[in-house]
Amino acid sequence: MQNIEIKKPLANNHISVDCVLMGFDGEQLRVLLLRRTGEEDGQAFHDMKLPGSLIYQDEDLDDAARRVLLELTGLKSVKLVQFKAFGSRDRTKNPKDVHWLERAMQARVERIVTIAYWSLLKIDRTLVNNLDRYQAEWVALPEVKDLAFDHNQIISEALSYVRQYVEFNPAALFDLLPRKFTAAQLRKLYERVYGKEIDVRNFHKKILLMDYVVPLDEWEQGVAHRAARYYRFDRVQYNKGRK
Amino acid sequence: MQNIEIKKPLANNHISVDCVLMGFDGEQLRVLLLRRTGEEDGQAFHDMKLPGSLIYQDEDLDDAARRVLLELTGLKSVKLVQFKAFGSRDRTKNPKDVHWLERAMQARVERIVTIAYWSLLKIDRTLVNNLDRYQAEWVALPEVKDLAFDHNQIISEALSYVRQYVEFNPAALFDLLPRKFTAAQLRKLYERVYGKEIDVRNFHKKILLMDYVVPLDEWEQGVAHRAARYYRFDRVQYNKGRK
């Protein structure tokens, strides 16, 4: 540091946290978004954003992420993984975002560095009953529109961190599925996470190799197509294989 | 955000970047540290810190990391991987660190969120000729003393990110070795990264399974013990196996 010469104004930033919560509805990955209403040039606008907010001066990052998530969605005990800091000065290039935030925060805002977290969770959690109260919505990834700030980019990067994570920790994927699931559901989930189609036959072979995916003596009921077998995730077997 | 009520002062932080550069000397992992000299309570002190500094207002995070590394170590074209933001308010609990920084930066400093990067690189790079000029030193991990701020913690967390990374991308480890290396050197490197001893025989079996570690018809020269065979890393073969 002795050798660094200060040539320009130092960044003095607000810090925020943003949470990318992803779930799976059996067909699509969905991300939890909040509705945002603002006014710009005398016109009301409505769009969406990730659950997130500025942090307090006396607050650590992980604590802030937990607090903000609770305040904005009512969700507790969510396992959040910090994955990246987004700090481009372009994050606040849209005056609409800055004005909206300054009004919400009652503070002047210039640059904001946000620390982003991801979590995978079942969509059937408490939140679903409270979606309206929290102005929240589980939006399928292909239907996500232009979001506030750089939140589209944050979601897209979160997905690539999730992909890396489940490569090591496939158990995380089973947190997204119901207790009993079909091979087709599991395959669809893999397809969504990896962003590519997976051959059905190859995938069945792959399942046979996963000794922690256990076939049940139960089949789908009342479906028009051939009833598919149910499987369950065997965590004990999974943990054995990890030692 | 609409529903968030601001109950406390918002954090308005300086942002810094810190770089954990790791190399391998054949025996130990080493981290590049800078010597720091300060004065506290009328007493001079000498300790060490990671290469890092506050970022400028108009600078993106990755650009700042590259700039700071160049200014502090002369190193260019280092592949830096952002791995974590450290934002605990305890980072600046030691007045010694704050006073030192305020003097160096000519600015009042309260809380600092730092964005940390890691890189693995050969110790034989340009820097070695310039260590003195930059007040820099490659310190073996077991010999790292109490560093400035939370830099000990940052190094320790960097190592666990590196461990995860090389699990997926073992090629990164070979960047740390000379072009020709012995099995013992490779084993020692694995031991250091994973922080545990590895059985010699098992490791030889493991090498046989790595088709990208190719035995050469060359042996060590002029050693007291039995001359060990040299190996090289075959990147073409490695990339084939990754498809």
Distances from the Cα of A110 to the Cα of A56, A87, A237, angstroms? 16, 12, 51
Same domain, B224 and B141: no
Is B7 part of a structural domain of the chain?
A: no
- Residues A152 and A192 reside in one and the same domain: no
Nearest by CB: B105 against A10, A49, A115:
A10
Mean pLDDT of A1-11: 65
Q: Least CA distance to A3: which residue of chain B?
A: B72
Q: Which of A168, A199, A230 is the last residue of a domain?
A: A168
Alpha-carbon distance A243 to B13, whole Å? Answer: 42
Same domain, A176 and A159: no
Q: Is the pTM of this model over 0.80?
A: yes
pLDDT at B5: 72
* CB atoms A11 and B57 under 8 Å: yes
Q: Which residue of A has its CA nearest to B60?
A: A88
B134 and B182 fall within a common domain:
no
Residues A162 and A175 in one domain: no
Per-residue pLDDT of chain B (243 residues; tens, 9 = 90+): 445 677 777 767 789 999 999 999 999 999 999 999 988 888 999 999 999 998 988 899 999 999 999 999 988 889 999 999 999 989 988 999 989 888 887 778 878 999 999 999 988 766 677 788 889 999 999 999 999 999 999 999 999 999 989 988 999 999 999 999 999 999 999 999 999 999 999 999 999 999 999 999 999 998 888 899 999 999 999 999 876
Chain A residues near residue B82 by CB distance under 8 angstroms: 84-85
Question: Do A70 and A137 share a domain, yes or no?
Answer: yes
Nearest Cβ partner for B15 among A37, A57, A87: A87
To 10 degrees, the CA torsion angle through B35, B40, B43, B44?
A: 20
- Residue A4 domain-assigned (yes or no): no
The domain tally of chain A equals 2
Domain assignment of residue B4, yes or no: no
pLDDT, position B1: 44
Q: What is the CATH number of the domain that holds A164?
A: 3.90.79.10
Residues A78 and A182 in one domain: no
A176/A210 Cα distance (integer angstroms):
17
Do B141 and B47 share a structural domain?
Answer: yes
Residue B6 within a domain: no
Query: Model confidence over A42-53: pLDDT tens digits?
Result: 899 999 999 999
Are B4 and A167 a contacting pair at CB < 8 A? no
Q: N- to C-terminal Cα distance for chain A?
A: 44
Taking residue B22's Cβ as centre, other Cβ atoms within 10 Å add up to: 22
CA-nearest of A82, A158, A102 to B87 is: A82
Shared-domain flag, residues A95 and A176: no
What are the distances in angstroms from CA B120 to CA B19, B29, B236? 11, 10, 21
Does any CB of chain B come closer than 8 Å to the CB of residue A135? yes
Written as six digits, the tokens of A206 are 């792959």
Does residue B2 form part of some domain? no
Q: Does residue A121 fall inside a structural domain?
A: yes
CA distance A242 to A111: 43
- The last residue of a domain, from among A168, A200, A216: A168
Chain A within 8 Å of B58 (Cβ-Cβ)?
Answer: yes
Using a 10 angstrom Cβ sphere, with 0-12 exposed, 13-18 middle and 19 or more buried, the burial of residue B153 is middle
Looking at this predicted complex, what is its ipTM? 0.84
The verdict on B109 and B220 lying in the same domain is: no
Rounded to whole angstroms, the Cα distance separating B153 from B116 reads 11
CB contact under 8 A, A8 and B34: no
Interchain contact A202–B (C-beta under 8 A): no
* A77 or A189, greater pLDDT: A189
The CA-atom distances, in angstroms, between A162 and each of A141, A169, A175, A238 are 14, 10, 13, 19
Residues A35 and A68 in one domain: yes
Cβ(A37)–Cβ(A45) below 8 Å: yes
Is A206 domain-assigned? yes
Domain range for A55 is: 14-168
> Both B64 and B163 in a single domain?
yes
In a domain, B5, yes or no: no
* The domain boundary residue, chosen from B140, B168, B196: B168
Look at A13 and B10 and tell me if their CB atoms are within 8 Å: no
Give the number of A-B residue pairs with CB atoms closer than 8 Å: 159
Alpha-carbon span A14 to B17, nearest angstrom? 16
